Amino acid sequence: MDAIKRGAVFLAIAFVLGLLLAFVLPHERGRAAEDKKLLVGVGDDITGRLMEQILQRYQADGEESLARAGEEGTPLQMGEQDLDSYLFIDCCSNAGQWSLLTKDIDLGFYCSHISVAIVNQSEGFSIYGPAVMNGEVLGYWEEPEDIRTMAIPMKREHLAELVREEYPWVESIREISATSILYAFGDRQVDGAVMDIARAFQMPEYQYTHVSDQDYVSYCLVVRDDIVDTPQFQTFIQYYNEIVEELNNKENLQALYGMDDAFWENVNLKFLYLPEP
């Protein structure tokens, strides 16, 4: 079974499970009201790598909990942690969106298309701001001009538009699940593939370049409106901006994730600062 078929089977199973969740589980399940842990949803992508760095910095500081930020005499107790991440693999999956709508998470990083869909279809949520720009790369075998069949992650309508504009010679655009796109590219089922930059870290032996000469937004931070004024969220944004400053240095990125000099010269990844509440 090739990667595209595997992806189709995976999506069919995910769709059925999504329906079961939608009709069996209560819509307001969420977490306990007294749970003050700030849970941030991330995909298995560059936002997950970003959140890893935020958590490492937060845990290394370890002097006070987010829930008690600004209060004197309230040190973080051993084993206590009130900032954590929630991995939903792909932000475009049913699970990724469901986790925010049911309050299993408080905020999350979503691709620009899904971010707009969430806030347009559900009350009580907002796009706090764009977070990652140019977060995808184009993997190719010969030259980008030789690409005739191109894979892109499923449900990324903004990427499909971008590909049509930037690569008018491409004859076929195939939407493949984010988890299968590496296999499709590695097996040469397509001539090129647009993928999250973190996927490329898993296959450093291939050729990559930026997707577009123009800047575009890859991921936004979507928040539940009632958390924005909390001290937990305010402190999270402070940590976020600290890490963003460090990751916008390509030497730091290369030290963390490897890849050769040519890779970092050809991609244009940018992490964006978010306003402090």
Res. 113: pLDDT tops 60: yes
Instruction: Please choose, from the candidates 132, 262, 274, the residue with its C-alpha nearest in 3D space to the C-alpha of residue 207.
Output: 262
253: tokens are 């990125």
**How would you class 247 by CB atoms within 10 Å of its CB: exposed for 0-12, middle for 13-18, buried for 19 or more?**
buried
pLDDT of 142-184, one tens digit each?
Answer: 899 999 999 999 888 889 899 999 999 999 999 998 888 988 9
Cβ contacts of 222 within 8 Å, gap of 6 or more: 100, 107, 108, 109, 110, 115, 118, 119, 125, 126, 127, 128
Position 23 confidence tier, pLDDT thresholds 50, 70, 90 = very low
What structural domains and CATH numbers belong to the chain? 37-134+217-258 (3.40.190.10), 136-210 (3.40.190.10)
Instruction: Please choose, from the candidates 163, 123, 159, 148, the residue with its C-alpha nearest in 3D space to the C-alpha of residue 45.
Output: 159
pLDDT for the residue numbered 173: 94
> Which residues on adjacent β-strands are paired with residue 193?
139, 151
Res. 75: pLDDT tops 70: no
pLDDT of 86-104, one tens digit each?
Answer: 998 888 787 888 889 989 9
SS3 of 151, please?
A: strand
**Residue 155 to residues 60, 123, 147, 150, 174: CA-CA distances in angstroms?**
37, 22, 21, 15, 11
